Structures are given as C-alpha cells and as structure tokens.
Structure 1
Amino acid sequence: MRSRFLVFILSFALVWSAAAQKPGRPQVDPSTVMQLGTNFSYYNRDHVRLSEDFTAYNEHNKKISKLQFLEALTSAKYLPLHLTSAPGSWAYKLYPFKGHYDKEVADITAQFAGYELDHYKCEGRKFPAFKFTDLNGNVYTNANTKGKILVLKSWFIRCQACNLEMPELNTVVDKYRNRKDILFVSIAFDSKASLIKFNKRKGFKYAIASVPETYIEQKLNTNMYPTHWIINRDGKIVKRTNEPDVMIEAVGRLAGI
C-alpha cells in the first residue's frame, strides 16, 4: 500500500511539474499588435515589463533564460508575447514577426530589448569607483556607502522625463526617511550653480551632485536619461532601469518591505 501511495505522489509531482513548465495563453492577439505602431505602443505600455524577473520561452515553447530571451529580441525577429501567469509574476514567449507586420514595430522592439539587455548584464557587477560631492558638501564614495543601500539616479535639468518623475521619487525618499541604511543620491552633468538654482524651484529630495557627462556616459556606460541604479550593501548592482516603478519595487525588495 505504501509503495503504491509513493508511486501516486511521484506521478502527481511529475504531472504538476510538467503543467508548471507549460506556457500560459497569450494575453493579446499578436497579429494585431504587430500590424500598427499605435497598437504596439499601447501593448508596450500595458504588457511589456522586461526589467522584471520573468519566465521566458522560445518560439517552440521551451523555457530559456532571460539573457537568451533578450538577446533573441535584439535580432528584430521576435515580439515579446505576454502570457498568462501566476499573480505577481510575468511570462513571455518569443513570437516571430511573420506575415504582414509593421517593420517599425520590429525595429523598436529590438531597440528597447537592447537597452534592457544592457541593464540586465549590469546586475551582479560591482558599481564603478565614484566620489560624489553633493550641493551641501556631503561626500559619497564606494567606501563610505558600503554596508548601505545606494539608490542612484542620473539626469540633467532639461530632461523632461527626469523632471516628471521627481514628485514620485520625493515620495519614495519620504517613505524611507527613517532608514539610515538607505541613501538616495542623484548625479547630473549640469553645473553646480545651475543645479542649486534649479532645486530652489523644484525641491528634489535626493542628494544632488554635479559630475562630468563623460563619467555617466563612459564610466557608467549609459546615455539614457533618467537611469536608476540600485546598489546593495556589498557595492553590487542589483538593478539598473529607466523606469521609476521598477526601481521602487526593487528598493522595496532589498529593504525588506
């Protein structure tokens, strides 16, 4: 009797495991998404979150790594097809561009996949050497931020997207104001005098430091603004993203909230 029971349990586990590996259903009709740039824009806004940790499948429904998935997307041959998944999780399948489709959709997909691939490759790496001096004279370095969570933003004054997210970021700073182990620092390539004048009007609550544009674009290897880095207590990059909501979620996980 016991052996039969064990066989039943093992059989059930194998069936359950196989079902868990099977991709879910498409959330949208991919042919509609691929036909028009406007359709893709709405789809990208509502369904594409490639900065998240997600389950990835190739076009043959075989599970692949996130790295393999993003690399394939940069070829402009695939749409990231959003699949049904468990609440709080994400799943995508490589869906080939075929038939009648808007080539611009394929090109934009490849471009954004390239950005996300660059972000993903940063994860787990040590953050480059730095020494930032904010507008109040406070100095931040690799050494004196070790043991703390560093939330870093790169931006510049005339960047509209950078300005639009500041009220939301101020709310995040307020949320963690009693957490001395979490630092919010921003770096911009505008002059110190310009940043002081700007912040008297704007009231951005991150510490603000003026740095050379070459530091951001060559040392940190990005020319996308804004860009957010979440750096853990060991000085390693946990997440790099252009999306504030992705950054906020990552900080919450790291902070244990």
Structure 2
Amino acid sequence: MKKSITIILTFLIFTYCSGQTKYGNPEVDPIQIQKDYSSWWAYQTKNIMLSRDFVALDSLSKEIPKDFFLDQLANGSNIPIRLQSDDSIYYYKLFKIEPNSDTSIKATINQEAFDAYKNFKMENTPFPKFSFKDLKGILVSNETMKGKIVVIKCWYIHCAACIKEFPDVNYLVEKYKNREDILFVSLAEDTPEQLKIF
C-alpha cells in the first residue's frame, strides 16, 4: 500500500511540474520587475502588447480565453509576464502583484487591460455607421469603404509619437497608392483650419 501511494504521489508531482514548464520560464523575475514603476514600465512597453495575438495563461500555467485573461488584468491584482519561447507564439502568464509594489503599476495595468478588453470585444463586430467629409471635401462613409482594406490612423497635432510615425505611414501610403482595394484614413482631433496649416 505504501509503495503504491509513493508511486501515485511521484506521478502526480511529475505531472504537475511538467505542466508548469510546458510554456517556458518568465522572461523576467515577476517579483523583481515590480520593485519600482520605471523598471516595470520599461519592461511592459517593450515586451507586453495586449492587443496582439497571444496564448493566455493563468497563474497555474493553464490556458485560458483571452477575454478572461484581460478581465483578470483589468479587475484583479495581476501582472502579465511574457514567457520565454522557441517558437514565434507569444505566451503571457498572470502573476500576482506584490502587496508592496508601487500602486501605479496596478493602476496602469488595470487601465491598459480595460482598454484592451473593450477593443477585444469589438473585434469581428460591424463598424458603426458614420459619414464625414475629408479636407478635400470628399465624402467618407461606410458605403465608400465597403469591400476595402481600411487603415486608420488616429492622431492630433501636438502628439509627438503620432508625428514620429508619419514617415512610416507615408511610406505605406506611397507603397500601396495604386491599390484600389486599400484606403488610408487619417483621423485627427484638430480643426480643419489647424490641419491645413500643419
């Protein structure tokens, strides 16, 4: 009896541990990265993009739906950490936020995850009805975009990061200018007069 209990226990421990390492180890120490906001933010902005496709894992390395993962980040006390991987798939795992971590870490994660969750829920839903005229007076609406690949850039004049992207966006516009099935739309918060001057 004792022998069979030992064998079963050994089997369960082996099974549990092998499941833990199936996806690889965290890229960073989840506790160390929470020591200060700037370290965490540097890691977060470089390695975590909640809008991309990724395999979502709970704190026990079990695969969970992406919307549940984002909800846990938006409403819980979790931090996403990317796991090391030999393939081109991104694996993000939930780790608990340390009680002594900077509260800005939790607040930022909650907000970013809330936005990502909201956007994720909108995927594959019909685009809302809209109609406006561009700076040249040309009508842009759901009907004029029907059947086209639409690339939308949202920006405003005083957004430095937005302006920095212009050369890359302009390169794409030039590259695909002869494609009738691709439409580039640049939505700005500024007035038409400000935009024409800019």
Name the TM-score, length of structure 1 as normaliser. Answer: 0.65
| 2:121 corresponds to | 121
| 1:57 corresponds to | 57
Distance in 1, matches of 2:104 and 2:49, equals: 20
Distance in 2, matches of 1:197 and 1:43, equals: 38
Give the 5 Å matches for 1:52-91: 52-91=52-91
Q: Structure 1 counterpart of 2:55, which letter?
A: T
1:76 deviation in Å? 4.3
Question: Residue deviations 1:134-166, cap 9 Å, x none?
Answer: 112222211121111111222222233322221
1:179 deviation in Å? 1.7
**SS of residue paired to 1:104:** helix
Q: Structure 1 counterpart of 2:159, which letter?
A: C
Contact 1:149–1:183, Cα closer than 8 Å, also in 2 = yes
| 2:143 corresponds to | 143
**SS of residue paired to 1:101:** coil
Distance in 1, matches of 2:107 and 2:145, equals: 40
Contact 1:23–1:57, Cα closer than 8 Å, also in 2 = no
Q: Over alpha carbons, which structure has the higher Rg?
A: 2
**SS of residue paired to 2:177:** coil
RMSD: 1.9
Contact 1:76–1:107, Cα closer than 8 Å, also in 2 = no
Matched, 1:33 2:70: no
1:184 deviation in Å? 0.2
Give the 5 Å matches for 1:137-176: 137-176=137-176
Deviates more, 1:62-71 or 1:41-50: 41-50
Q: Structure 2 counterpart of 1:101, which letter?
A: S
Q: Structure 2 counterpart of 1:141, which letter?
A: S
Q: Structure 2 counterpart of 1:92, which letter?
A: Y
Segments of 5+ residues of structure 2 without an aligned counterpart are: 1-17
Name the % identity.
37
Name the TM-score, length of structure 2 as normaliser. Answer: 0.83
Distance in 2, matches of 1:71 and 1:86, equals: 28
Give the 5 Å matches for 1:79-228: 79-98=79-98, 100-198=100-198
Distance in 1, matches of 2:55 and 2:83, equals: 10
Distance in 2, matches of 1:100 and 1:145, equals: 50
Distance in 2, matches of 1:55 and 1:195, equals: 41
Figure out how many residues of one structure are paired with residues of the other and give that number.
Answer: 180
1:86 deviation in Å? 4.1
Segments of 5+ residues of structure 1 without an aligned counterpart are: 1-17, 199-257
Distance in 2, matches of 1:98 and 1:157, equals: 39
| 1:230 corresponds to | none
Distance in 1, matches of 2:134 and 2:181, equals: 18
